[in-house]
Amino acid sequence: MSDVTIRDAKEGDLDPVSALAARLVRLHHRWDPRRYLLQEPVEQGYRWWLGSQLGQADLLLLVAEVEGQVVGYVYGAVEPRDWAMLLEAHGALHDVYVDEGHRGRGVGRALLEAALARLEPRVENVVLHTAVQNEAAQRLFASLGFRTTMLELTRTRGQYPLLKDSV
Is 60 exceeded by the pLDDT of residue 167? no
Stated pTM of the model: 0.91
Domain count, the chain: 1
Higher per-residue pLDDT: 145 or 37: 145
- pLDDT band of residue 166 (cuts 50, 70, 90) is low
- The percentage of residues in the chain with a pLDDT greater than 90, rounded to a whole number, is 87
Q: What pLDDT score does 158 carry?
A: 82
Range 7-22 average pLDDT? 96
- Cα→Cα distances 55→9, 91, 111, Å: 10, 17, 19
Least confident of 57-71, 97-111, 150-164: 150-164
Domain extent at residue 119 = 4-166
- pLDDT band of residue 162 (cuts 50, 70, 90) is confident
Q: What pLDDT score does 164 carry?
A: 67
- CB 95 within 8 Å of CB 75: yes
pLDDT (tens digit, 9 = 90+) per residue, 136-154?
Answer: 999 999 999 999 999 999 9
**Residue 9 sits in a domain of what CATH number?**
3.40.630.30
Sorted by sequence, the CB contacts under 8 Å of residue 114 that are 6+ apart come out as 6, 62, 74
3-state secondary structure of 45: helix
- pLDDT band of residue 165 (cuts 50, 70, 90) is low
Instruction: For the chain, give the mean pLDDT.
Output: 93
- CB 108 within 8 Å of CB 98: yes
Higher per-residue pLDDT: 164 or 41: 41
- Cα→Cα distances 165→37, 157, 158, 161, 162, Å: 33, 18, 17, 12, 9
C-beta pairs of 9-13 under 8 Å, 24+ apart in sequence:
9/50, 9/54, 9/61, 9/62, 9/63, 9/73, 10/54, 11/51, 11/54, 13/63, 13/70, 13/73
Phi, psi of 29 (to 5 degrees): -65, -40
Q: What pLDDT score does 160 carry?
A: 75
- CB 4 within 8 Å of CB 106: yes
Residue 54: burial class (beta carbons within 10 Å; 0-12, 13-18, 19+): middle
Instruction: Compute how many other C-beta atoms are within 10 angstroms of the C-beta atom of residue 11.
Output: 10
- pLDDT band of residue 2 (cuts 50, 70, 90) is low
Q: Is the dihedral of CA 26, 32, 33, 35 positive or negative?
A: negative
One-letter identity of residue 104: G
